[in-house]
Chains A and B, each alone.
Chain A
Amino acid sequence: MTTTDSSETAEAPKGKRRLGDLVFANSARGAGLLILAILAGVAAFLIVQSFSSLTANEANFFTSSTWSPEGGPDEDVRFGVASLAFGTVLGAAIALVLATPIAVGIALFIVYYAPRRLAALLGYLVDLLAAIPSVVYGLWGLVYLVDELQPFYRLLSEYLGWIPLFAGPVSSTGRTMLSAGIVLAVMILPIITAMARDVFHQVPQTHREAALALGATRWEMIRTSVLPFGRPGVIGGAMLGMGRALGETMAVAMILSPSLVISPNIVQSGNQTIAAHIALQYPEATGNGVSALIAAGLVLFAITLAVNMAARFVVSRRKEFSE
């Protein structure tokens, strides 16, 4: 290669490459910006559309639980999301509390306990379950599960009634927040499991062998090397699941017997989630009614945001130690 040759190769292809890089890098950035734009669009839509009802609202939007946003000739516009927000968080919390440990358990089972073939099959099954429509979960919950659960709630209330959660009186149909939470848990289980399974798969062999070589039992190996490594991923999966649980519409609408009260009692009918409330009210809503529902949607959005921020905070706090 001669000197002239080289300076040519150094200069000549430059323009062409820069173009390719420019186009590609900018379309990548463009995609990112598009996402921000969509999100800004959704946020703006929520804010703009909720404006009219919020300004007309005579009740405190955050502390009140009434819902008559359409008002009338001699009636104030009054609505508030207190009970809805409470119900939303309650339902998602039940789902998360039930699903996360079980999902971690299943993921561990798939990755470290089950025979390999079974594990592959289970992994596939789990992915498949993530795709089952919420209507089907709702249908199953409605037709099958609530009837099965109702007697169990009686027992729960009888023996653990001193805990406010199970105080009773027990719903005679079983269509309670706990039922909704259980169905939500079943729904988000595949999501959390899939994420947890993936991160557990990625725990470096060397870390696991390090523990085993110290004479750790399987559980001790999992505790010292798998769980700490997988923690951020599991939290991420739990947040994805929580996002779905918070926003789940149909299954809750079908299963829960709602009311707009704040009640910690989850074996009794009552409480309501924002998403289900929107679904139940939207078809017949007009004017401020729609606007108020969208305001509720805004609150749901904000709750999701807060939950995600909290999760990030938890994950990043231990970043120093996560490789």
Chain B
Amino acid sequence: MTTTTQPAAADSSDGGPGLKASGLYSRQLPTYFPPALLVVCAVVVSGAFALFGSFHPVPAAILTALAYLVAITASSAAVENSRRAKDRLVTGIVYCCFAVAVVPLISLLSTVAVYGIQRFDLYFLSVSMNGVIPSMDAGGVYHAIVGTLVITGLATVISVPIGLMTAVYVVEYGRGRLKQAITFFVDVMTGIPSIVAGLFVVALWILAFGPGQTNGLAGAIALSVLMIPVVVRSSEEMLRLVPNELREAAYALGVPKWLTVVKVVLPTAVAGLTTGIILALARVIGETAPLILTAGMASTRINGNPLEGDMMSLPVYIYKAVRAMGLSGEAGVYAEERAWAAALTLILVVMLLFLAARLISRFLSPSKG
């Protein structure tokens, strides 16, 4: 083994604290350097923009980020070494990704919160739109909350067993072509456009009950078509994570396969399964198009019966409000307020559902950790 290892060579070239370091002491940028550099970049870029008289936050931010990335890479390459420089560059990029993504997301959430809060109160949550005409400063979302809970609840009740059992089949039982076919077609099913799912159920309903028969159940079935593949996919991943050793441990105790699945595999995976179900729920709870087609958009009163007539849901409620938003005068203003407030309501409902799911999952896996 020679003394001229690569790191030593790299080090001596930048003339650091000498050979004694043999690559260990490398000159490093102080920890305050990156943030300071960022501030400098921001100031310089904004200054330049101001000079040319066209300051706009977005391009300024983009240029600042670019300038920062170039500067940090260059200074790191000069002071440290090329590998650190690359590391710093990637760190910068990762933070940028975060910023790039979080900014619109936060903007979205805060927009919803700020606009939504104007009409969001107990009254709004506790009344329906029954008897409310567009220009009235009245009405609320209660019926839509009920509808959303009933429809997505039904969809969950339909999809979770089917999806979970399919995942169990694929992971635990599946062999050969049928398994391949199912995994492949589940993938395909994830791509069914929501509107096509809606049209499909409408056709089904026309076959069964004649035209114009919209109700909550139809909506729930349309949502199930969208939800099932997501449940299957995520559950599949989670079941695969359960180590085989545990299955073998159960088999070795003379436990039949199905009990092994029910009592060992599923409980072990329960946290992951919950995440999957939450994602699936998230996928459908905001669906609009299929619900308009299947559950209708006429309902203004509270209807908790999924078999009986139109059922309003929060996304459709928002959609309707958005459509009325362009009305001149107060009607448009109220519609816009309702749209945002309902959006806020939906987000809060989702948050509560997520929380509940987490709690249930924690309850189901008591002795973990």
Of B185, B192, B256, B289, which is within 8 A of A250 by CB?
B289
Whether A198 lies near B87 (C-beta < 8 A) is no
Give the interface SS of chain A, mostly helix, strand, loop or mixed. helix
Of B108, B162, B229, B293, which is within 8 A of A34 by CB?
B162
- Shortest distance between the CB of A202 and any CB in chain B (Å): 7
A303 to B339 alpha-carbon distance, docked (Å) = 33
In the complex, chain A residues whose CB is within 8 Å of the CB of B84? 217
Whether B166 lies near A279 (C-beta < 8 A) is no
Does B104 have its Cβ within 8 Å of any Cβ on chain A? yes
Q: Which of B38-46, B95-103, B120-128, B299-307 sits within the interface?
A: B95-103
B interface, how many residues as a size bin?
35 or more
A84-108 contacts to B (CB < 8 Å):
101-106, 108
- Shortest distance between the CB of B182 and any CB in chain A (Å): 4
Task: Determine the residue in chain B with the shortest Cβ distance to A307.
Answer: B191
Q: List the count of A-B residue pairs having beta carbons below 8 Å apart.
A: 283
Whether A247 lies near B194 (C-beta < 8 A) is yes
B303-353 contacts to A (CB < 8 Å):
314-315, 318-319, 322, 339-340, 343, 346-347, 350-351
Whether A219 lies near B87 (C-beta < 8 A) is yes
Question: What per-residue 1/0 map shows which CB atoms of A1-15 lie under 8 Å from chain B?
Answer: 000000000000000
- Shortest distance between the CB of B25 and any CB in chain A (Å): 15
B162-213 contacts to A (CB < 8 Å):
162-166, 168-170, 172-174, 178-179, 181-182, 184-197, 199-200, 203-204
Of A23, A38, A236, which is within 8 A of B189 by CB?
A38
Q: Which of B13-21, B132-140, B276-284 sits within the interface?
A: B276-284
- Shortest distance between the CB of B163 and any CB in chain A (Å): 8
Assuming the A-B contacts A135-B315, A151-B56, A247-B196, are A301 and B191 also in contact, with contact meaning beta carbons closer than 8 angstroms in the complex? yes
Question: What per-residue 1/0 map shows which CB atoms of A131-144 lie under 8 Å from chain B?
Answer: 11111111110011
A24 to B112 alpha-carbon distance, docked (Å) = 46
Does A59 have its Cβ within 8 Å of any Cβ on chain B? no
Q: Count contacts on A: residues with CB < 8 A to the other chain.
A: 97
Does A160 have its Cβ within 8 Å of any Cβ on chain B? no
Does A167 have its Cβ within 8 Å of any Cβ on chain B? no
Task: Determine the residue in chain A with the shortest Cβ distance to B259.
Answer: A20
- Shortest distance between the CB of B129 and any CB in chain A (Å): 17
A129 to B283 alpha-carbon distance, docked (Å) = 10
In the complex, chain B residues whose CB is within 8 Å of the CB of A102? 97, 100-101
In the complex, chain A residues whose CB is within 8 Å of the CB of B237? 198
In the complex, chain B residues whose CB is within 8 Å of the CB of A62? none
- Shortest distance between the CB of A271 and any CB in chain B (Å): 17
Of A30, A109, A134, A144, which is within 8 A of B98 by CB?
A109
Give the interface SS of chain B, mostly helix, strand, loop or mixed. helix
Of B112, B166, B258, which is within 8 A of A31 by CB?
B166
In the complex, chain B residues whose CB is within 8 Å of the CB of A24? 257-258, 261-262
Whether B101 lies near A220 (C-beta < 8 A) is no
Assuming the A-B contacts A17-B256, A217-B87, are A133 and B286 also in contact, with contact meaning beta carbons closer than 8 angstroms in the complex? yes
Does A49 have its Cβ within 8 Å of any Cβ on chain B? yes
Whether B343 lies near A133 (C-beta < 8 A) is yes
Does A210 have its Cβ within 8 Å of any Cβ on chain B? no
Does A249 have its Cβ within 8 Å of any Cβ on chain B? yes
Does B288 have its Cβ within 8 Å of any Cβ on chain A? yes
Task: Determine the residue in chain A with the shortest Cβ distance to B168.
Answer: A28
Whether A21 lies near B258 (C-beta < 8 A) is yes
Does A81 have its Cβ within 8 Å of any Cβ on chain B? no
In the complex, chain B residues whose CB is within 8 Å of the CB of A308? 184, 187-188, 190-191
- Shortest distance between the CB of B28 and any CB in chain A (Å): 12
Whether A127 lies near B195 (C-beta < 8 A) is no
Assuming the A-B contacts A29-B169, A247-B196, are A21 and B283 also in contact, with contact meaning beta carbons closer than 8 angstroms in the complex? no
In the complex, chain A residues whose CB is within 8 Å of the CB of B58? 148, 152
- Shortest distance between the CB of A137 and any CB in chain B (Å): 7
Whether A155 lies near B59 (C-beta < 8 A) is yes
Whether A49 lies near B203 (C-beta < 8 A) is yes
Whether B111 lies near A249 (C-beta < 8 A) is no
Assuming the A-B contacts A131-B282, A297-B193, are A27 and B173 also in contact, with contact meaning beta carbons closer than 8 angstroms in the complex? no
A218 to B188 alpha-carbon distance, docked (Å) = 37
Whether B111 lies near A144 (C-beta < 8 A) is yes
Of B196, B288, B322, B350, which is within 8 A of A128 by CB?
B350
Whether B192 lies near A240 (C-beta < 8 A) is no
- Shortest distance between the CB of A310 and any CB in chain B (Å): 11
Whether A128 lies near B351 (C-beta < 8 A) is yes
Whether A133 lies near B258 (C-beta < 8 A) is no
Q: List 13 A-B contacts (CB under 8 A).
A: A23-B258, A32-B170, A35-B166, A45-B204, A108-B94, A127-B279, A133-B318, A134-B287, A139-B318, A139-B339, A152-B58, A217-B83, A243-B191
Where the two chains meet, the residues of A that have a C-beta atom closer than 8 Å to any C-beta of B are: 17, 20-21, 23-25, 27-32, 34-36, 38-39, 41-42, 45-46, 49, 101-106, 108-109, 113-114, 122, 124-125, 127-140, 143-145, 148, 151-152, 155, 186, 189-191, 193-194, 198, 202, 215, 217-220, 222, 236, 239-240, 242-244, 246-250, 254, 274-275, 278-279, 282, 294, 297, 300-301, 304-305, 307-308, 311-312
The 9 closest A-B CB pairs, nearest first, are A105-B97, A247-B193, A133-B286, A304-B191, A131-B282, A31-B165, A24-B258, A243-B191, A28-B169
Beyond A35-B182, A101-B97, A312-B184, 19 additional contacts (C-beta under 8 Å) are A20-B259, A21-B257, A31-B166, A34-B166, A42-B192, A42-B197, A102-B100, A106-B98, A113-B98, A128-B351, A128-B354, A131-B350, A133-B314, A135-B319, A186-B101, A220-B83, A242-B191, A275-B193, A308-B191
